[in-house]
């Protein structure tokens, strides 16, 4: 039913990602679909990488490690952004289209008061993406 | 310390290996429902110092007025030679770096591609740093220098004329007045911005250090920039930026109010001013929430189109030929008087060189952390030569054209006997000039809109800069933080406008120009040192 599953990844907070990856892995096995890990980075140096290129390398290494651990195909795609605090959702939605993903599995924190004003990332992606979105809490 | 690492596909850059990880000193407190990500202690110290200063200015307005009323002139008069000398050093360093082989270094690595088109990039350069000043001083400053130069007794110690003045000689007073104005809006201010912007860009995009003022000083202080040395530099930068913005916002609201009164009869009172500040802050808020591309850049572009339209209108419907020939004449006058005007020692025109030039230099320098950091953020992918050419030379030429069109036209009107332009209050001179051209109602309205939007673009880019500094160089801190700084800036402006003390705090902001001038001289040295270690194409 699904051709490609996209999982947005925050390399700075890998600890919050385990459940989303586990969910995506199960679905990927079930549908025989590859997983594409998508990371969005600022172009300025970040806590993860000095440059967007270094970020892309790290994401690739993370995908390779996941491939080896799960015995599944994990692709990696890094997207630089001018202002990730604001542009993250739009960048992820565009990435899903560009990567040809038809399912997005993404982690989310528990919604609180701010979500009434600013949509959470997972919420915004779910509202605006053309494809199915699986929000993992 | 540094080694050349191949970072394909953007090409080699000399990344600095440091143990410091961006965000390592950050804390993530929960403030009510909002999660924050702030640098400890820069965020708290700068926030609390600003609050303390505002309370001081409100609680003891007379003490504050007296103290800062003394401090600002003391700083700019005592150290006038230092400011003038430092300004010349910045221009020379920028030109030498541009012309030397160092100009081939590319920001972001050898093969980096520019992030923004020339249009968007230029729009943001002007909107952040100078637009608002060009609106207010474009007519008023040339008129001031022209009248003081022409006046009887120009050149005497109590005269405000630049250099020896040109008493009674209209043509020469005009050349001198234009040269002096262009001097204040030409190479020197843009060199200050270029040095700060280039240093930050190189140390962030090529060296991999956090986008924060302290990173400029890594070659000098080494690992100590991550400790208190760096905290102090960053806090000072936040302080200068916020007070610079808040006082400009307060004073700007007074001026916009006067303009709206002139046009539409809007009453000049506290209510109007508070509404203006709130309105400007509200638009700035929408802009920072929309982000760098959808908010700040788009507003800057709108502004540039409006400003260009106004400029072309004045050229087309003003004395077209006089402006076009005046452009070259004024450029010549600027070059001719530049050595004398920028001479730091043995000046006989203390009122001018201390009251105008030295004050301007301190003001530009106190704004440089903000403007420089914003320019740095949007300049990835430009070569050093291209960067300096576009941040130093082209804006200087635009300033010459702008001053010629607005100031030159105004002086022309004055010599034809339109005395109103000399008598009008400073903030109304632009409108008095536009009044003599066709469609005055429309152009004055465009002028007011430009003034307000230039404030918005300073306010939103300033909030982004303060947010990045107080988040330890992170540009992806929660949006709530930039919202906080934008509102805080508006509140500081309102508090000082109502309680008095705007002048005092402007003086405080300008006074930060002195420590920053020292800091920037060190920074120029660090910049050259950093550039020397970068790989470049043969």
Contact residues, chain B to chain A, C-beta under 8 Å: 7-10, 13, 15, 21-24, 32-35, 108-109, 115, 204-205, 208-211, 289-294, 377, 380, 473-480, 482
Q: What percent of chain B has pLDDT over 70?
A: 96
Q: What integer pLDDT is reported at residue B31 of this predicted model?
A: 67
Mind telling me how many Å the CA of B138 is from chain A's nearest CA?
33
CB B25 within 8 Å of CB B470: no
Contact A42 B475 (CB under 8 A): yes
- Tokens 């050898």 label which residue? B110
CB B408 within 8 Å of CB B326: yes
CB A137 within 8 Å of CB A108: yes
Strands B26-27 and B38-39: antiparallel
The strand ranges marked E within A43-131 are 74-81, 103-107
Q: What integer pLDDT is reported at residue B7 of this predicted model?
A: 43
- The ipTM (two decimal places) reads 0.84
B11-48 pLDDT tens trace: 667 777 777 777 777 887 776 666 778 888 888 888 88
Q: What integer pLDDT is reported at residue A118 of this predicted model?
A: 54
Task: Give backbone dihedrals phi and psi of A80, rounded to 5 degrees, phi first.
Answer: -80, 150
In this prediction, residue B324 has a pLDDT band, given cuts at 50, 70 and 90, of very high
What residues have CB less than 8 Å from B343, skipping those under 6 apart?
B84
CB contacts of B476 in chain A (<8 Å) are: 42, 46, 84-85, 88
Q: Give me B351's structure tokens.
A: 């009122």
A66-120 pLDDT tens trace: 999 988 889 999 998 888 888 888 899 999 999 999 999 988 765 555 444 555 6
Q: How far apart are the first and last CA of chain B?
A: 24
For the cut 80, the answer to whether the pLDDT of residue B94 exceeds it is yes
Task: Give backbone dihedrals phi and psi of B114, rounded to 5 degrees, phi first.
Answer: -60, 140
Q: When comparing pLDDT for B332 and B250, which is higher?
A: B332
Q: A90-104, B123-137, B479-493 — which is least confidently predicted? A: B123-137
How crowded is residue A71: how many other Cβ atoms within 10 Å of its Cβ? 9
Task: Give backbone dihedrals phi and psi of A6, rounded to 5 degrees, phi first.
Answer: -105, 135
Q: Give me B135's structure tokens.
A: 């609106």
Q: What integer pLDDT is reported at residue B11 of this predicted model?
A: 63
d(CA B278, CA B508): 23
Alpha carbon B499 to its chain's center: 26
Q: What percent of chain B has pLDDT over 90?
A: 43
What average pLDDT does this structure show over B507-513?
82
For the cut 80, the answer to whether the pLDDT of residue B251 exceeds it is no
Structural domains for chain A: 5-136 (3.40.50.620)
What average pLDDT does this structure show over B167-179?
93
CB A10 within 8 Å of CB A92: no
- Tokens 């230039």 label which residue? B454
For the cut 80, the answer to whether the pLDDT of residue B411 exceeds it is yes
- Tokens 């070059």 label which residue? B335
Search chain A and give the residue with CA nearest B24.
Answer: A47
Q: What integer pLDDT is reported at residue B2 of this predicted model?
A: 40
* Cross-strand partners of A76: A37
DSSP string, B31-50: ETTEE--EETTHHHHHHHHH
Q: What integer pLDDT is reported at residue B8 of this predicted model?
A: 39
Q: What integer pLDDT is reported at residue B5 of this predicted model?
A: 46
Sign of CA dihedral B466, B472, B474, B480: negative
B192-213 pLDDT tens trace: 999 999 999 999 998 889 999 9
d(CA A68, CA A92): 25
For the cut 60, the answer to whether the pLDDT of residue B364 exceeds it is yes
B453-462 pLDDT tens trace: 888 888 888 9
Q: What integer pLDDT is reported at residue B472 of this predicted model?
A: 87
For the cut 60, the answer to whether the pLDDT of residue B3 exceeds it is no
CB B516 within 8 Å of CB B366: yes
What average pLDDT does this structure show over B465-474?
90
Structural domains for chain B: 2-109+117-151+159-206+214-219+226-532 (1.20.1740)
Q: What integer pLDDT is reported at residue B385 of this predicted model?
A: 95
Q: Report the candidate in B89, B200, B184 with the shortest Cα–Cα distance to residue B521.
A: B89
d(CA B224, CA B217): 9
Contact A82 B208 (CB under 8 A): no
A19-52 pLDDT tens trace: 889 999 999 999 999 999 999 988 888 888 888 8
d(CA B80, CA B91): 17
Q: What integer pLDDT is reported at residue B109 of this predicted model?
A: 83
Nearest residue, CB atoms, B479 vs list A12, A51, A85: A85
Q: When comparing pLDDT for A123 and B223, which is higher?
A: B223
d(CA B90, CA B87): 5
Search chain B and give the residue with CA nearest A116.
Answer: B33
Q: What integer pLDDT is reported at residue A119 of this predicted model?
A: 56
Q: What share of chain A is helix, strand, coil (3-state, %, to 5)?
A: 50, 25, 30
Q: What integer pLDDT is reported at residue B62 of this predicted model?
A: 82
User: What are the residue ranges of helices labelled H in B226-319?
Assistant: 228-264, 270-291, 298-317
CB contacts of A52 in chain B (<8 Å) are: 10
Segment 61-80 of chain A within 8 Å of chain B by CB: none
B435-455 pLDDT tens trace: 899 999 899 989 888 888 888
Contact A51 B291 (CB under 8 A): no
H or E stretch including A108? none
The strand ranges marked E within B147-215 are none
Contact B33 A113 (CB under 8 A): yes
For the cut 50, the answer to whether the pLDDT of residue B179 exceeds it is yes
- Tokens 């591609």 label which residue? B113
């Amino acid at each position: 039913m699904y051709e490609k599953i996209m999982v947005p990844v925050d390399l700075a907070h890998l600890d919050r990602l385990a459940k989303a990856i586990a969910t995506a892995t199960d679905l990927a096995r079930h549908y025989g679909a590859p997983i594409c890990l998508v990371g969005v980075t600022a172009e300025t140096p970040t806590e993860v990488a000095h440059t967007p290129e270094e970020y892309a390398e790290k994401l690739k290494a993370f995908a390779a490690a996941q491939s080896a651990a799960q015995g599944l195909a994990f692709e990696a795609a890094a997207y630089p952004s001018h202002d990730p605090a604001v542009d993250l959702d739009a960048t992820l939605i565009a990435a899903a289209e560009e990567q040809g993903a038809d399912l997005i599995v993404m982690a989310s924190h528990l919604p609180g008061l701010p979500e009434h004003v600013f949509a959470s990332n997972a919420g915004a992606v779910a509202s605006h993406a053309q494809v199915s979105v699986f929000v993992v809490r | 310390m540094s080694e050349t690492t191949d970072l394909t596909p953007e090409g080699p850059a000399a990344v600095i290996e440091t143990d410091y990880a961006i965000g390592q000193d950050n804390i993530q407190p929960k403030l009510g429902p909002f999660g924050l990500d702030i640098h400890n202690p820069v965020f708290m110290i700068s926030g609390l110092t600003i609050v303390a200063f505002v309370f001081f200015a409100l609680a003891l307005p007379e003490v504050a007025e007296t103290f800062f009323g003394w401090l600002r002139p003391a700083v700019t008069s005592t150290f006038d030679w230092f400011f003038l000398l430092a300004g010349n050093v910045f221009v020379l360093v920028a030109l030498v770096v541009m012309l030397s082989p160092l100009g081939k270094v590319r920001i972001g690595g050898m093969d980096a591609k520019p992030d923004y088109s020339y249009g968007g990039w230029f729009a943001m350069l002007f909107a952040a740093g100078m637009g608002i000043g060009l609106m207010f001083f474009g007519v008023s400053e040339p008129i001031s220098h022209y009248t003081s130069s022409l006046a009887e007794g120009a050149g005497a110690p109590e005269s405000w004329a630049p250099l020896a003045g040109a008493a009674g000689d209209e043509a020469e007073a005009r050349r001198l007045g234009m040269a002096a104005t262009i001097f204040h809006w030409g190479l020197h201010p843009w060199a200050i911005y270029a040095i700060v912007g280039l240093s930050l860009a190189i140390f962030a995009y090529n060296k991999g250090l956090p986008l924060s003022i302290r990173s400029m000083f890594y070659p000098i202080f080494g690992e100590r920039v991550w400790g208190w040395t760096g905290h102090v530099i960053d806090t000072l930068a936040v302080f200068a930026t916020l007070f610079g913005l808040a006082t400009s916002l307060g004073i700007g609201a007074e001026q916009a109010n006067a303009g709206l009164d002139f046009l539409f009869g809007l009453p000049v009172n506290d209510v109007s001013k508070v509404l203006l500040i709130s309105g400007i802050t509200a638009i700035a808020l929408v802009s920072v929430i929309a982000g760098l591309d959808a908010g700040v850049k788009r507003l800057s572009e709108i502004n540039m189109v409006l400003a260009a339209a106004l400029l072309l209108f004045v050229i087309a419907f003003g004395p077209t030929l006089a402006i076009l020939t005046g452009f070259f004449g004024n450029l010549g006058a600027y070059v001719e008087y530049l050595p004398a005007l920028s001479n730091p020692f043995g000046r006989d025109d203390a009122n001018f060189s201390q009251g105008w030039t030295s004050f301007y230099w301190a003001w530009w320098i106190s704004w440089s952390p903000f403007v420089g950091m914003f320019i740095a953020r949007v300049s990835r992918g430009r070569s050093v030569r291209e960067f300096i050419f576009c941040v130093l030379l082209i804006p200087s030429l635009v300033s010459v054209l702008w001053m010629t069109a607005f100031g030159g036209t105004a002086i022309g009107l004055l010599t034809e006997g339109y005395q109103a332009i000399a008598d009008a209050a400073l903030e109304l001179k632009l409108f008095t000039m536009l009044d003599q051209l066709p469609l005055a109602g429309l152009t004055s309205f465009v002028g007011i809109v430009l003034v307000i939007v230039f404030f918005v673009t300073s306010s939103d880019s300033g909030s982004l800069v303060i947010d990045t500094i107080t988040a330890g160089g992170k540009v992806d801190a929660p949006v709530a933080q930039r919202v906080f700084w934008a509102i805080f800036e508006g509140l500081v402006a309102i508090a000082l406008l109502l309680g008095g003390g705007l002048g005092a705090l402007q003086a405080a902001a300008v006074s930060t120009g002195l420590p920053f001038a020292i800091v920037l001289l060190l920074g120029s040295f660090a910049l050259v040192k950093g550039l020397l270690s970068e790989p470049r194409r043969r």
